[in-house]
Amino acid sequence: MEHAPEPLRPPRGHIPGGLLALPVALLAGLTAAAAAVHVAKDSSRVAVAPPVPAPAPLPKAREPSLASLLAAASYDPAQDRYLARLSGGETVPLTLLPSFQHALDKLLSDYHPAHAEIVALDPRSGAILAWARETSDDPAAAGLSGDAFPAASIFKLVTASALLDRGISADEEVCFHGGEHRLHPRQLVDDGPRDRRCLSLAEAVAKSANAAIAKLALRDLDPVRLRDWAGRLLFNRPLPVLFAAPGETADASAAEVPEDPFDFAATAAGFGNVTLTPLHGAALAAAIGQGGTLAPPRLVAGDSGAPERLLPLGIARELTAMMAETVHAGTARRAFRSRAARALAAAGKTGSIDTHGPFRDFTWFVGFAPALDPRIAIAAVVVNGTRWRIRAPQVASAALIDYLHPAPPGRRVARRGGVRHRRRHRG
């Protein structure tokens, strides 16, 4: 899929009716089997645009791609929704929520990253709620190409799924040394005097402990199993998207799993040649949050497609617990430490990695909220240079707050911070 077009914005000064707030209890505690998060039941739901009749199915030869739908989108103030006029003259309503789309456009434009993208889905229906993109660099000059970015530690979700399927308990511990930012072959060999840090599989995912995940993968997995699980979780194949052009495969994420033992272990920990698209990241989060089933992402309003099971229910629940711990006490805790962010009871996974020539710092957050009753799944990727203002977990936290607990009209989505120097953090 081609890059999404410039941000879709309602007319300046237009703020549609506010989204309904959703009361959510604080994260109460975690177990290896499931996140013990209490979510207050309430009949309130996020406000959506007025219902419209489902559009007639489009002939296969004329089904548009997501990129062309976004490019053709225009805001209709009378209906308070986005519409897209197709090449054949038909006009179809889109699933984008104008107020939420505008809030995310503003959030990204406030911080001027080298590049940033957010995709938000309704995990129950697959409806794309917002798709925001901001770039201050020429993508080619910035070393960016296509819609896929280095997946970094998001790939640990694939490795954890494979380990759980292999029968490895979320409580099983592995002891290791080093591995916070880089990985070396000697770290994968048991070394009693030096292996003083021990973590369970669940803790290793939440804290994104590279050496721990790499050692578990090398001990209990092999390239064939990891490739199989990468394929199950939508790598190396097109996403099951409704209203996608026949044969469109450009939006596929790629995962190369090598045979060399060290390279294999490093890939399992998130250092390999693996790319991820934001839409795939949001779809992966949605599937985990929905107990392992994915409602096909869609941009045209109307009926949902038949769900596809990606994960067994038990593995999805284990991953939910690990991702809830990531937000509660792991690598995403700082981005979700405010009272509003804690009230989301969110679950997620972070990822970060840097490349050179030119230097680029890639950060990710994929997740959903509330953890046990997801109403939104999100993927955020932010690309920065050596100086940065915001990273993906902060972007995702602000976006989730805006959707589930929107501020009164006129208030900013997030306060803009000062320019900060890059800090070494790999999660």
Mean pLDDT of the region 165-178: 95
Note the pLDDT tens digit of each residue in 248-266: 444 579 999 999 999 999 9
Asked whether residue 10 is assigned to any structural domain, the reply reads no
- Highest mean predicted confidence (pLDDT) among 71-75, 112-116, 175-179, 290-294: 290-294
> From CA 35, how far away is CA 282, in angstroms rounded?
20
> 404 is in which domain, residue-wise?
97-421
Asked whether residue 103 is assigned to any structural domain, the reply reads yes
Residue 140 has pLDDT above 70, yes or no: no
pTM of the predicted model, to two decimals? 0.81
Q: Considering only residues 287 and 59, tell me which one the structure prediction assigns the higher pLDDT.
A: 287
> 372, 357 in Cβ contact below 8 A?
no
Residue 42 CB partners (closer than 8 Å, separation 6+):
22, 23
* pLDDT at position 328: 97
Give the residue among 348, 280, 294, 288 at the shortest CA–CA distance from 314: 288
> 381, 363 in Cβ contact below 8 A?
yes
Asked whether residue 30 is assigned to any structural domain, the reply reads no
Asked whether residue 202 is assigned to any structural domain, the reply reads yes
Note the pLDDT tens digit of each residue in 8-17: 444 333 333 3
> 212, 204 in Cβ contact below 8 A?
yes
Note the pLDDT tens digit of each residue in 24-38: 232 333 333 333 333
**Overall domain count for the chain:** 1
Asked whether residue 309 is assigned to any structural domain, the reply reads yes
343: domain CATH number is: 3.40.710.10
Asked whether residue 158 is assigned to any structural domain, the reply reads yes
Mean pLDDT of the region 179-186: 82
Q: Which of 217-221, 271-275, 357-361 has the lowest mean pLDDT?
A: 357-361
Asked whether residue 157 is assigned to any structural domain, the reply reads yes
Asked whether residue 83 is assigned to any structural domain, the reply reads no
* pLDDT at position 70: 84
